[in-house]
Amino acid sequence: MAIVASVTPVVVLSEYDPSTVTGFLKDASDITLGVAISYEEYIRNGSNYASIIKSEFDNVTFGYQMKHGAIVKNNGILDFTRCDELVNLVGMPIFGHVLAWHQNNNGDYLRSLATGSASSSNALNLINNGDFEQGTGNTFTDWSNLVGGNAEGSYAAETTDTEPNTNSKRALKVTVTKVGTNAYDMQSLGPNFKTVAGKQYRISISIKSLTGKGQLKLVVQNSAYTENQLTFSTNTWSNYVWNVTINEINPQIKLHFNGEGTYLIDNIKIEDISLLTPPTNAEITKKVDAALKTWVQGNVGHYKDKIKAWDAINEVFTDGTPILRTGSSTGDAYYWAQYLGRGYIAKTFKYAREANPDCDLFVNDYNLESNAAKLDSTIGLVKELLSQNVPVTGIGTQMHMSINTPQSGIVSMLQKMAATGLKVRISELDISINPSNTKGFVPTKALYDAQAAMFNFVVKTYIATVPVAQRHGITVWGVSDKDSWITPTFNRPDYPLMWDANFAKKPAYVGFWKGFK
């Protein structure tokens, strides 16, 4: 394979006048061009934003909406409602981002996998008749089933289709034919239970949605109101777990039915988490592995017909080093390697391939153009995975750069990535003009021209260095400067994209466009 030895740097031009450009970016290039978008920006920015996306680019990447934290609920269930809404709003091809990353996860749910077992004999069930065994006919001891407002529905005892592998003889059957204006218009009111204010409790409930869809709110309330929205996408019995801190005493358990359908409910338990038996490391590993598989295959499988390429793993190595990333799992941060070790990487690819045999799967990371050790480690990881028959098909380089990024590093990076023979994509391109966070910073024409020249250089180098068959595409990380992640993340004024805050083309747009000429 012929690899270009060097690329001549582009000299800063005196003029990058947007009025000289005719046509659209995607028409200027045979390379697939993408842009990162978000649900909030799409709704807030209106027609200008949508028009730029659809006229200038071939595909989109969702900056957040397709990540673990956006889809996985506190009970582990995948809820695609908001993501599907954005998919439908955009109506364009999508690059999937991202399957396994250490940030933007539902950390609360993932960390709950390491807490005590809900079946522990050390913890008593704090509510009476959570299994609905007590009662006669269609009534249940300690439970009141109400239909109010403009809701329509009914309650009954189910004696045939109860939770399997238990001793259950009765379950609560709820049929919602019309959802009320208020979620509580149709509700089951359970018994009050004793708590210590400020302690954490585990609430588990088994539910089967006969229609394979619907939703209900799991509520804990005395004077304060705490809820967990459950959304269903299967018609099999499933157990949902909610770890919740209760800040009052003697609350009541309630079920608010805010989705049409027929539901079977069984075996509700409320337990003091401090009394649960801690699981072994082997048990935690098994649960984390199952959670990773459920997430990856659920996401890839849900969008199998719409998404043909994914960032399978993202930012595997720590900042500035070739060391596998680990850290403190707090907030939305969760390190899969904590329990799965290095093996989580191969597992992610394999689970994704099982869900979609035909999609491209990428390793994605940043600073590869400026950190040779990290670049070499990334390529080494790819080769290691390929030797194990892990289905890696491409490498993504984010390229969050500045006008001061050495061009020699860009050339070297793309040469080494192309030499793997895999598909190569620039996945998150933006170019900062105020990387030093200068006080009182005001952008100048010279800085905008330097930015334009760097966009130009990146495009020309990609074309000159990566063989046609390996060019998977270039994605710019955002539309306008006002929506860039850089300003809020680093608390500095910056203007790293191709459109300004008013959606006017900048010199950067011209530099990018001319890169294809």
CATH of the domain at 164: 2.60.120.260
**Quick one: tokens of 122?**
């050390």
Ranking 175-179, 227-231, 457-461 by mean pLDDT, the lowest is 227-231
In whole angstroms, what is the distance from residue 336 CA to residue 345 CA? 9
In whole angstroms, what is the distance from residue 225 CA to residue 240 CA? 20
Does one domain contain both 257 and 293? Answer: no
Over residues 200-251, the pLDDT tens digits come to 999 999 999 999 889 999 999 999 999 998 888 778 898 888 889 999 999 9
Residue 118: inside a domain, yes or no? no
Does one domain contain both 271 and 299? Answer: no
CB 107 within 8 A of CB 330: yes
Tracing tokens 């003009």 back to the chain, one arrives at: 433
Helix axes 507-514, 445-465, angle to 10 degrees: 20
What's the rounded mean pLDDT across residues 296-315? 97
CA angle 389, 34, 364 (to 5 degrees): 35
CA angle 340, 341, 345 (to 5 degrees): 85
Statement: residue 278 has pLDDT above 70: yes
Active site residue 248: no
Q: Domain ends where: 212, 244, 275?
A: 275
CB 235 within 8 A of CB 70: no
* Cis amide prior to 98 (ω within 30 degrees): yes
CB 450 within 8 A of CB 500: no
CA angle 255, 193, 79 (to 5 degrees): 35
Does one domain contain both 295 and 393? Answer: yes
Average model confidence (pLDDT) across the chain = 92
- Count: domains in the chain: 2
* pLDDT value for 319: 80
What's the rounded mean pLDDT across residues 170-183? 97
Does one domain contain both 464 and 317? Answer: yes
What's the rounded mean pLDDT across residues 377-393? 97
What's the rounded mean pLDDT across residues 67-92? 93
Q: Domain ends where: 275, 290, 309?
A: 275
Does one domain contain both 417 and 293? Answer: yes
* pLDDT value for 125: 92
In whole angstroms, what is the distance from residue 517 CA to residue 16 CA? 14
Residue (of 450, 467, 462) closest to 1 by Cα position: 467
Statement: residue 350 has pLDDT above 60: yes
**Quick one: tokens of 338?**
């904590």
Look up the domain containing 181 and give its range. 144-275
* pLDDT value for 320: 73
In whole angstroms, what is the distance from residue 206 CA to residue 193 CA? 19
CATH code where residue 102 lies: 3.20.20.80
Does one domain contain both 286 and 415? Answer: yes
Q: Domain ends where: 275, 294, 329?
A: 275
Does one domain contain both 240 and 305? Answer: no
CB 336 within 8 A of CB 288: yes
Confidence of residue 122 (pLDDT cuts 50, 70, 90): low
Active site residue 384: no
In sign, the C-alpha dihedral spanning 374, 379, 380, 382 is positive
**Quick one: tokens of 181?**
């204006």
**Quick one: tokens of 66?**
């397709």
Active site residue: 315, 354, 369, 384, which one? 315
Statement: residue 5 has pLDDT above 50: no
In whole angstroms, what is the distance from residue 337 CA to residue 325 CA? 8
Does one domain contain both 267 and 285? Answer: no
Does one domain contain both 358 and 447? Answer: yes
